[in-house]
Amino acid sequence: MLFIAYVFALLTIAFWLILPLVWLNNPNTVSSSVLGPLVYASGWFLLIPAAFSLAAMVHTNRLRRALRNKEIGALRELNSLAWGILSFFLANPITGALLIIARRPLAQVTASESSGIAEDRILVVDHLIKFFPVRRSFSQVMRGGQTAVVHAIDDISFEIRRGEVAGLAGESGSGKTTVLRVALGLLPLTSGHVYFNGKDIAKMTKKELKRVRTKMQVVFQDPYESVNPRMTVYDIVSEGLFVNNMVSSRAEATEMVEKALRDVQLTPPSEYLHRHPHELSGGQRQRVAIARALVLGPDLILADEPVSMLDVSVRAEVMNVLLAVRQKQGISVVMVTHDLALSKDAVDELAIMYLGKIVEQGPAQEVVASPYHPYTQALVAAVPVPDPTGRRIQILAKGEIPTNIAPPPACRFHPRCPLAKPICSQTEPLMVEVTPGRQVACHFWKEANEWFTKSFQGTPANGG
Amino acid sequence: MALLKVEDLRMYYNTTAGEVKAVDGINFELNEKEVLGIVGESGCGKSSLASTLIRLLPTNARIASGKIVLEGKDLVTMPDAEIRRTVRWTKISVVPQGAMNSLNPVFRVGDQIAESITSHIGMEASEAKARTRELLTLVGIDPSRARHYPHEFSGGMKQRAMIAMALSLSPKILIADEPTTALDVIVQAGIVELLLGIRRDLGLAIVLISHDLALVAQMSDTVAVMYAGKIVEQGESKRVYLTPFHPYTAGLRRAFADIRKPKQPLVSIPGFPPDLIEPPPGCRFTARCPYAKEICRAEDPALVEAEPGHLVACHFWKEIRAGGEST
């Protein structure tokens, strides 16, 4: 169908190109008035775009079908091509109107039903999928076939309550940092929904999104790279206030900056306002980054490994500041981390991610003390304890993390799992609530948990 | 008899701001098959110590004083050519910090390992190739992957390749500087297993440098805690962890989350390390020490033996007895 549409469009162009040549050879068939050339000229703006709009409509139909059938692999390609064509003649009023009519069904596909989100859920991620197309070389494009896709996030769902500190733990390739980026709206999602304060961020206008971003702030991993070395602390923290027109004078800004600095224990604030980042230690810099996030009065702070680049003796300082704002101001925190021991002490709810999926979720202390999923168990077993007489680290998962371009079928962990059975490579385990508050995606979570608590030394369950 | 004996080693960097006393009076001994852990945070001088031990210093650095005695010979006074021929890589080798990122991206991994062999001793290319395959097997990499480029290796594999490179001439001592930083926790466990296996099978002595107290606890027999260029506590791992005598060691231990324990409040050590250009005259930990008194500001405590084999540099170690399992 697409092929026919393009052939038609090309034939129309060819026809319209040849037409003047025919006229020139037969001058008396067309009047020399201005009407003739006018009609001809308008043909370029009507006929050709109309022909292309046919192609575009076929594209959007394909798009709709792909979305419905979740043929997500080809999605990005189709999408960009369709929009390229559509924009070509949105400049033309007639065909533009045709397209708006054609576009509305497209909008319906991505629109969702009214979000019945509970009031106390600040962030709800619902069946989120985010794929990145893998760049293809020229020869690969010529050979055709489907574009390979990085399955960065493959159908995850979780909810963050107000005032909660949630942790997203996982190793590299788990997709945890991508989750933060998609939640912030920095990356478009492939499918699924992200609701912030009950509203779907994919449906927000640019203006709404800008306003929402003041309520959703980020703290980055590297305190040496996330603060501008040429700005003073005052500049760094107040920048957001000015960009978002939240203050009308320097005096007002200074007041808010000082309050934020006090909240992060950089006191007296006046001592820090005029310092540059190189005059601060790593821990102080990270606290400035937190102040920068706090000053805008957010409801949610997304922190990407906020302390992993700091010295251990300084980590608690920064973590405690982050946790204190939760206490005082009811701000929720979502923290991405790879440090399970820290998660256990700092976080309320913990979700463990592996290759784009959440494998286990629950209260942090329980998940770490008595893990249900074999991958969580492998993570816990690999964490060294600061005690030479304590348990030795064990490697419970063989091999390395596979690529997330072609992840293992069904349960992603089955090639490395010590408890894998045939069903694990055939049927994907769904995330189920196995005990109140604890969810896990594993066929044999019960056996895994029993085996772990019995035979693995050093969990609080058997006396460490 | 000790394999390596370091006596009052001092190494300073000459910078435009002044002379940075990065390593300021270090003493320790390393025996055969021993794993010595050097624990400290950023800026304490542990990486500088590593490069001093192998005499691989930048042009603005100098060894101000001290001795590094290896098999009866002092490395500090040895001419560079001799060190290159007989010591570096053949007796002591280093896996530097972030080593996995220093693999040349345009050369095959196998060739880079073979190069480290042929540039030190005159070995036939084919022999070097065979040795490379041997080394890759030793570190748990399929030898056929020698022809791959670094970007085809994962982070853990790159680190293993670097360890293979360090072992290529069968040294007696391996210095590993932050061997597991930036690696996933399960991959980290693999590297730990590898290093311990190598120690067991090849009879290597390992100097493990890390800021990760837990990692050092897992691997080392003896540990030395460094702070601001000096060793503040050293001794058998078990003793130092069970009963730390120095407030910094105790504070560091408390700051480390223990995955076995139920939820604990997070504790840190307030303040930050002192300036190493003009270090304070007394104990360098004074500004952050909860037990500091006047004498701490004035006099730098020497390392004394608190119990057999367990040294500490603190005026009040007896009074503090900071230790035990309580946080």
- What are the extents of the domains in chain B? 225-327
Angle (CA) B10-B11-B12 rounded to 5° is 125
pLDDT at A91 over 70: no
Q: What is the mean pLDDT of residues A188-210?
A: 88
pLDDT of residue A1: 52
Structure tokens of A216?
A: 């959703």
Nearest to A379 among B185, B192, B262 (CB): B185
ipTM reported for the complex, 2 dp: 0.87
pLDDT of residue A111: 38
Nearest to A172 among B184, B237, B265 (CB): B184
Report the alpha-carbon distance of residue B246 to residue B266 in Å, rounded: 20
pLDDT of residue A94: 53
Angle (CA) A75-A77-A78 rounded to 5° is 70
Least confident of A20-34, A335-349, B175-189: A20-34
User: Which DSSP category does B59 fall into?
Assistant: T
pLDDT of residue A81: 57
Q: By CA distance, what is A314's nearest residue in B?
A: B268
pLDDT of residue A380: 92
User: Over the stretch A361-378, which tens digit does the pLDDT of each residue have?
Assistant: 999 999 999 999 999 999
Stronger pLDDT, B321 or B316, i.e. the higher one: B316
Could you tell me how far CA B240 lies from the centroid of its own chain? 17
Structure tokens of A109?
A: 């596909």
Closest CA to A241 of A294, A304, A186, A167: A294
Do the beta carbons of residue B49 and residue B96 sit within 8 Å?
no
Interface residue A324 vs chain B (CB under 8 A): no
Which segment, A169-183, A201-215, B222-236, is predicted with the most confidence on average?
B222-236
> What's the gap in Å between the CA of A355 and the closest CA on chain B?
13
pLDDT of residue B135: 94
pLDDT of residue A61: 67
User: Which DSSP category does B121 fall into?
Assistant: S
Angle between helices B155-166 and B185-202 (to 10 degrees): 20
Report the alpha-carbon distance of residue B48 to residue B65 in Å, rounded: 15
**Which chain B residues are within 8 Å of A394, Cβ to Cβ?**
189
Do the beta carbons of residue A352 and residue A367 sit within 8 Å?
yes
> What's the gap in Å between the CA of A314 and the closest CA on chain B?
5
User: Over the stretch A42-67, which tens digit does the pLDDT of each residue have?
Assistant: 777 676 666 666 666 666 666 666 55
Q: What is the mean pLDDT of residues A328-344?
A: 89
Nearest to B269 among A313, A368, A386 (CB): A313
pLDDT of residue A461: 45
User: Over the stretch B231-266, which tens digit does the pLDDT of each residue have?
Assistant: 999 999 999 998 899 999 988 888 888 888 888 888
pLDDT of residue B162: 93
pLDDT of residue A438: 93
> What's the gap in Å between the CA of B126 and the closest CA on chain A?
31
Report the alpha-carbon distance of residue B117 to residue A209 in Å, rounded: 58
pLDDT of residue B17: 86
Stronger pLDDT, A89 or A112, i.e. the higher one: A89
Q: What is the mean pLDDT of residues B144-150?
A: 92
Contact B259 A281 (CB under 8 A): no
Report the alpha-carbon distance of residue A25 to residue A443 in Å, rounded: 79
Please give the helix or strand (H or E) that residue A352 lies within, else none: strand A349-354
pLDDT of residue A426: 92
Contact B217 A390 (CB under 8 A): yes
pLDDT of residue A31: 53
> What's the gap in Å between the CA of B260 and the closest CA on chain A?
5
**Those residues with Cβ within 8 angstroms of residue A19's Cβ, 6 or more apart along the chain or in another chain:** A40, A43
User: Which DSSP category does A167 fall into?
Assistant: E
User: Which DSSP category does B155 fall into?
Assistant: H
Stronger pLDDT, A462 or B309, i.e. the higher one: B309
Structure tokens of B288?
A: 């952050």
pLDDT of residue A303: 93
CATH number belonging to domain A115-134+147-369: 3.40.50.300
Structure tokens of A391?
A: 């348990």
pLDDT at A87 over 60: no
Do the beta carbons of residue A162 and residue A168 sit within 8 Å?
no
pLDDT of residue A113: 39
Q: Is the peptide bond before A268 cis (omega within 30 degrees of 0)?
A: yes
Concatenated DSSP letters of B204-240: -EEEEEES-HHHHHHH-SEEEEEETTEEEEEEEHHHH
pLDDT of residue A298: 92
pLDDT at B34 over 90: yes
> What's the gap in Å between the CA of B154 and the closest CA on chain A?
9
Question: In A34-164, which ranges are E strands?
Answer: 121-133, 149-161
**Which chain B residues are within 8 Å of A342, Cβ to Cβ?**
257, 266
Do the beta carbons of residue A347 and residue B266 sit within 8 Å?
no
Interface residue A271 vs chain B (CB under 8 A): no
A 38-77 residues with CB < 8 A to B: none
Report the alpha-carbon distance of residue A261 to residue A268 in Å, rounded: 8
Q: What is the percent of chain A where pLDDT is above 90? A: 35
pLDDT of residue A392: 87
Least confident of B200-204, B214-218, B254-258: B254-258
Strands B4-15 and A432-435: unpaired
- What are the extents of the domains in chain A? 2-110, 115-134+147-369
Structure tokens of A399?
A: 């091999």
Q: What is the mean pLDDT of residues A315-337?
A: 88
Q: What is the mean pLDDT of residues A30-40?
A: 65
User: Over the stretch A405-445, which tens digit does the pLDDT of each residue have?
Assistant: 888 999 999 999 999 899 999 999 999 998 899 999 999 99
Q: What is the percent of chain A where pLDDT is above 70? A: 77
Report the alpha-carbon distance of residue A130 to residue A7 in Å, rounded: 34
Least confident of A79-83, A411-415, B12-16: A79-83
pLDDT at A112 over 70: no
**Which chain B residues are within 8 Å of A315, Cβ to Cβ?**
255, 266, 268
* Site from B185, B253, B327 to mutate, A interface, most A CB atoms within 10 angstroms: B185
Tell me the pLDDT of chain A averaged across its residues.
81
**Which chain A residues are within 8 Å of B226, Cβ to Cβ?**
none
A 334-353 residues with CB < 8 A to B: 338-342, 344-346
Neighbours of A171 (CB within 10 A): 21
Contact B190 A282 (CB under 8 A): no
pLDDT of residue B236: 94
**Which chain B residues are within 8 Å of A392, Cβ to Cβ?**
218
**Which chain A residues are within 8 Å of B258, Cβ to Cβ?**
341, 385-387
How far from A64 is each of A74, A177, A295, A337, CA to CA, in Å? 12, 29, 43, 37
Least confident of A140-149, B162-171, B238-247, B275-284: A140-149
pLDDT of residue A390: 84
Query: Confidence band (pLDDT; 50, 70, 90) for A104?
Result: very low
